[in-house]
Every structure is written in C-alpha cells, then in structure tokens.
Amino acid sequence: MDFKNLKWNWDMFGRTNAMGAILTSRGDWDEEAFFASGLLEIEQVMAHARSLGMRTRFHQGLDFGCGVGRLTQALAHYCDSVCGVDIAESMVTLATKSNRHGDKCRYHLIDTDDLQLFDDNSFDLVYSNITLQHMEPSYSKSYIKRILRIFANSVPRWPPSVSAARRTRYWWLASPRRKTGSSSERTQALSKYQQGFHF
C-alpha cells in the first residue's frame, strides 16, 4: 500500500471508529477505558525500564503514530512535554480534542514519509507501538532512520559489536511479559541487556 492510500485508510478509520481501529481487541471502547489502557501500558514500560536501571523522566517525548493520543497523554506523566504525530488528519483532530494536558501535549499531522518538522536531537524519548507494522517495509525503514535523527544524544545505544538479533533476544528474554524460560536464564538476559546500554 502506498503512502497516499495509507493516509486515506487511517483517516477513514479516524472518522468511523478510531478507538476500535487502534485497539482491535474491542470494537466498543468507551473513552475512559481506552485511555486507561494507555496509562497501564506506559506504566508497565516504565516499571520495566526502572528494573533495568534506566531513567524514567524525560524532557521531550515523541509518540510516533499517536492516533487519538492514547499513549501520548500517558507519556505526559513522564515527560516535561510530549508530541504526538500521525499521518491521519482525523486522528490528530480527535487527539487534540481529547487532550487533558494542555500545552504539555501537542499533536502534529505528518503529510510525508519524513519528520522534517523536527530538528536533529529534539527528543530524549521516542515511543511507538502497533504502528510500523501497518505500513510497507520501505516506509517503516525510512521512518526508523528519521527517528534516529531526532533522538537526543542521551538516548541509550547499543555498541556496534552487539548484533540486532542478539539485542532482540536479550530484550525478549528479559521482558516481564515473557512466560517461559528459567529464572536464571532471565537473570542472565537482564544482565546482558543492561550491559548493552551506555549513556
């Protein structure tokens, strides 16, 4: 699906059933429950970050593929300010209307497959979930490159010696949502995952 059609599809979802299109586990979301699910998700992410010895307070956050702001507003509890970006005008309109954090949360429509509205090193936190898989790999790869451009230098990075496959395995083993594997395996993975980050 090309970028124009992708934008059109998600704009239509925003005009018909935005919350159900974003979280398909339910088709009849009410607003309170929908935004509460965002708070829970971000709380779990930050709890896991703390368990790895990572910081959980940030200056400027970005929610990539913000939809109606479910995670943007949750991130506002951990950031001085946070921006949400989306390719669907209807989603951005709904996010702005649903905003409960005033100027602390700002929403932007992105009309192209780049993030030129942001300067280099603008954000010290970028979060995205259930977004990149909805687009062609060429677009997702392009966005990832541009996201790396706007990361602040304080963002943790893996050393080049650690392959992407190994990073992914350490994350999978260390994840609190993982249900299988021994406790010793998870402990070792946590140690290696922590060693992979340097600030």
Burial class (CB in 10 A: 0-12, 13-18, 19+), 112: exposed
pLDDT at 158: 52
The model's pTM is 0.76
The listed range with the strongest mean pLDDT (3-7, 29-33, 158-162, 168-172) is 29-33
* Alpha carbons 187 and 173: distance in angstroms, whole number: 9
Nearest residue to 193 (alpha-carbon basis) of 174, 178, 165, 176: 174
* Alpha carbons 78 and 82: distance in angstroms, whole number: 9
